[in-house]
Amino acid sequence: MPLEIRFGRKDWDRIAADYAAWWAHELDRPLVQVTGGAYEPDVDYPAVPHFLTNAESGITAAELADQLWTLMTARRFYGDAFPHLFVNYGPGIAAGFMGAQVHSVPETVWFEPAQELPIDQISLRVDWTNGWWERVSEVTRALVERMGDQVQISHTDLGGNLDILASFRTTQLLLMDLYDAPEHVERLISEITAAWIQYYDALDALIRPGCPGTSPWAPIWVDGTSYMLQCDFSYMISPRMFERFVIPDLVACCQHLSHGFYHLDGPGQIPHLDLLLSIERLRGIQWVPGDGNPPQHEWLDLLGRIVDGGKLCQIYLGADSALEIVRHLGGKGFLFSVTDSMTADEAEAFLAAMEREDRGLR
């Protein structure tokens, strides 16, 4: 029996209808994504690293696509989950596209300047001949050709404006630049935004013609243009600096996208929430508490601020945490990406429990 993705046209039609209602704030329930695995005993499933920068040396894009296809056939999708494949070359790979050094070791990727230059001598532009760009675009194209009508292929994680700039200045120097050379920081982040949009559009031209819609690295689906915008560097700066150096980029990207989301990563970014909520075209916020911090259901006030502020909210969490949030806040406006792997029976029982809790608050 040939391997196949267990997700058909009717499933995609259901996803399109339910996610469209969710984006429009017309879905009374939460979106709940649950996945599981079902491995065939006679199939040799390949070992593909989470970061594709660590793929085996010499493997072609087509061969990598075949390996990922085989892995996708072992996945099962329950509730509002759908086949989604993150083209992962590290957070902020756009820095690599523009000439930063890319360091890839097992389970991580990081970037640093290829040469140390004064900030007034740095200029950042799109480089379509860069080897990392050529590889990411080649793999994206191969994945879309291999499975794009059945699996939503994501945009790669291009990165946020100050995160990308830090890859050319280092974090320490960029923090000082914000005080010592703010005009050059503004010049460079303007260049980064322009390049970011060009890279996004080039990937979008590969993805959307062959896929059901678009998706960022997080499993959020839309029939339009979407991205998980971010600025992890903002953990280290004040709301005043965030407003000056980050908000203009986010506004420009949201103007370019039909469905922009923001990756709010850790308590250090919470001081910026009001500014994020003020961006009219920002459609939603993903909250990630971060390692060592309380689980999602212990952030009810924050989650309430997000949905009461008119934004949608996507979070990764365990099944028990999802139930607890629904008990207190209801489910409307939330997308719960459940991290517990389940069998079909377990998923059915959990989804029924979620529905009972959600209906109990309506």
Query: Facing residues of 259 across strands?
Result: 226
Tens digits of residue pLDDT in 240-273:
999 999 999 999 999 999 999 999 999 999 999 9
Query: Is residue 1 predicted with pLDDT exceeding 90?
Result: no
Query: Is residue 26 predicted with pLDDT exceeding 90?
Result: yes
- The arithmetic mean of pLDDT across residues 289-295, rounded, is 95
Please state which of the ranges 15-19, 97-101, 115-119, 306-310 shows the lowest mean pLDDT.
115-119
CA 99 vs CA 161, 170, 194: distances in Å: 15, 14, 16
CA 68 vs CA 71, 74, 161, 307: distances in Å: 5, 10, 30, 35
Name the pTM for this structure: 0.96
Burial of 17 (0-12, 13-18, 19+ CB in 10 A): exposed
Query: Is residue 15 predicted with pLDDT exceeding 60?
Result: yes
State the residue for tokens 């649950």: 34
Helices 131-147 and 61-72, packing angle to 10 deg:
50
Query: Is residue 27 predicted with pLDDT exceeding 50?
Result: yes
Which of the four pLDDT bands, split at 50, 70 and 90, describes residue 362? low
Percent of the chain exceeding pLDDT 90 equals 94
Tens digits of residue pLDDT in 155-201:
999 999 999 999 999 999 999 999 999 999 999 999 999 999 999 99
Whole-angstrom distance between the N-terminal and C-terminal Cα of the chain? 46
Per-residue pLDDT at 100: 97
Query: Is residue 2 predicted with pLDDT exceeding 70?
Result: no
Q: Helix/strand/coil (H, E, C) string of 4-50?
A: CCCCCHHHHHHHHHHHHHHHCCCCCCCEEEEEEECCCCCCCCCCCCC
Mean pLDDT of the chain: 96
Tens digits of residue pLDDT in 58-109:
999 999 999 999 999 999 999 999 999 999 999 999 999 999 999 988 888 9
Residues 6+ apart with CB under 8 A from 165: 124, 174, 185, 188, 189, 192
Distance of alpha carbon 232 from alpha carbon 159, whole angstroms = 9
Radius of gyration, CA atoms only, the chain:
20
Query: Which residue pairs from 49-52 have beta carbons closer than 8 angstroms and sit at least 24 positions apart in sequence?
Result: 49/106, 49/107, 50/88, 50/107, 51/88, 51/89, 51/90, 51/104, 51/107, 51/108, 51/109, 52/87, 52/88, 52/89, 52/139
Per-residue pLDDT at 361: 63
Would you say 218 and 209 are in contact if contact means Cβ atoms under 8 Å apart? no
Residues 6+ apart with CB under 8 A from 15: 80, 82, 212, 221
Q: 10 Å Cβ neighbour count for 211?
A: 21
Would you say 342 and 350 are in contact if contact means Cβ atoms under 8 Å apart? yes
Read off the DSSP letter of residue 277: H
- The arithmetic mean of pLDDT across residues 142-162, rounded, is 97
